[in-house]
Amino acid sequence: MSLDLKNIIKPYPSPIITGRGIDLDFPMLAGCLALLGLGLVMITSASSEVAAVQSGNTLYHMIRHLIYLVIGLGACIVTMMIPIATWQRLGWLMLIGAFGLLVMVIVPGIGREVNGSMRWIGFGAFNVQPSEIAKVFVVIYLAGYLVRRQKEVRESWMGFFKPFIVLLPMAGLLLMEPDFGATVVMMGAAAAMLFLGGVGLFRFALMVGLAVAAVTILVQAQPYRMARLITFTDPWSDQFGSGYQLTQALIAFGRGEWLGVGLGNSVQKQFYLPEAHTDFVFSVLAEELGVVGSLATVGLFVFVCVRAMYIGLWAEKAKQFFAAYVAYGLAFLWIGQFLINIGVNVGLLPTKGLTLPFLSYGGSSLVICCACLGLLLRIEWESRTHLGSEEMEFSESDFAEEPTHGR
């Protein structure tokens, strides 16, 4: 008796397992791969001087970033293999997991302190940043809530306030690290999802007002936040103190002019600009590639974020509302981090420790961004093939005659 392994091992259909080969949203994939490639180049350039002094190997940070990139692409592939219905079923477990990670990171002996903040859990030579995972898990849970309680969210105050029973304690845990930037991004994405979920304009305006008041109180509650707020308005008043990082970033932008000083020729990365390969990698990019390179990078980000919003729109038109809300939420996470990071680099916002999606050095951020990309590619594929989120049995014949899409 022979065993037919093909019948025993039936992989669940996905964008990379169909009757006609790989079936992905190639414009979205190309945009994100371009950002990942640009990020690898800029990390190599921005970190070379620091790596040479700290480790004796000019390519130390590049090698680590490349390892994170490989892990991230693996996470992207795995995420594409998982049906959206599975994410919807496991939303509440992810929420519990997010709370667990955020509690663990502030426990002495488990959380690892870097630059005065307890934002990481150490695993040997690698650090995991739970806030990056928690933000995505909150989006997935909130998307499920908006689907389950759609009428209640749109028509009653209770449906509007219930999500904050979850969001506010999570924001409190983030502030205990402290991670004010991640708190703002998470709450902003949640507010945008609630608005797209149908919350009335009056209730939404009230939420925005309360959020502004809360941010004002939080800024005034900590002296270092108030100092950052005052400094960013006039960094040159204390250019060798609290305004040092911003003034060095602005010098990098000034030196770049239109076409930049050339790849690898940055002066500011040579110990003038702190965190040149993490939070301020965009400043080094502006110095080396100039206005043209900076605007091209911003254009790539705009394309990727708008494409993510369109993926949500396509899922909504296909009546796959959970998938649509997840796509919207992930898009707003990227938009929030992008705007804050660029705003900090050019001096429009106070300094915050937020990475630039796909570009900055940082394992957790890079891997989570790649996983989010996989989730968006899965959502686009399911909405285009009309699989929805129903429990269904599939065979290869279901995908053999799929028409080529024109998105």
Secondary structure, 3-state, 312-358: HHHHHHCCCHHHHHHHHHHHHHHHHHHHHHHHHHHCCCCCCCCCCCC
Q: Are strands 117-123 and 126-128 parallel, antiparallel or unpaired?
A: antiparallel
What is the pLDDT confidence band of residue 18, given thresholds at 50, 70 and 90? low
| Token output for 259 | 């076409």
**Looking at residue 279, what is its pLDDT?**
85
Question: What are residue 393's phi and psi, to 5 degrees?
Answer: -100, 135
347 SS3 class = coil
Q: Does the bond joining 178 to the residue before it have cis omega, within 30 degrees of 0?
A: yes
Q: What is the pLDDT of residues 376-386, one digit of tens each?
A: 999 999 998 87
**Looking at residue 124, what is its pLDDT?**
66
Distance of CA 292 to the CA centre of its chain: 25
- Residue position matching structure tokens 């796509």: 327
Neighbours of 134 (CB within 10 A): 26
**Looking at residue 398, what is its pLDDT?**
45
User: Whole-model pTM above 0.95?
Assistant: no
Query: What is the rounded CA–CA span in Å between residue 124 and residue 279?
Result: 23
Q: Tell me the β-bridge partners of 126.
A: 123
**Looking at residue 394, what is its pLDDT?**
44
Question: What are residue 16's phi and psi, to 5 degrees?
Answer: -110, 5
**Looking at residue 9, what is its pLDDT?**
37
Domain boundaries, the chain: 24-388
Residue of 360, 389, 364, 357 lying closest to 189 (CA atoms): 357
**Looking at residue 355, what is its pLDDT?**
87
Q: What is the pLDDT of residues 336-355, one digit of tens each?
A: 999 999 998 988 888 777 88
Give me the mean pLDDT over the 73-91 stretch: 93
Residue 313 CB-density burial (10 A; 0-12 exposed, 13-18 middle, 19+ buried): middle
Query: What is the rounded CA–CA span in Å between residue 246 and residue 275?
Result: 11
396 SS3 class = helix
**Looking at residue 407, what is its pLDDT?**
61
pLDDT at 134 over 80: yes
CA distances from 11 to 6, 17, 81, 213, 351 (A): 9, 8, 9, 51, 47
**Looking at residue 155, what is its pLDDT?**
80
Looking at every residue in the chain, the average pLDDT score rounds to: 84
**Looking at residue 272, what is its pLDDT?**
87
Q: Write out the DSSP string of 111-122.
A: EEEETTEEEEEE
Residue of 407, 335, 363 lying closest to 126 (CA atoms): 363
Give me the mean pLDDT over the 57-72 stretch: 92
Beta carbons of 18 and 397 less than 8 angstroms apart: no
**Looking at residue 366, what is its pLDDT?**
93
240 SS3 class = coil
Question: What are residue 243's phi and psi, to 5 degrees?
Answer: -95, 10
Give me the mean pLDDT over the 54-60 stretch: 86
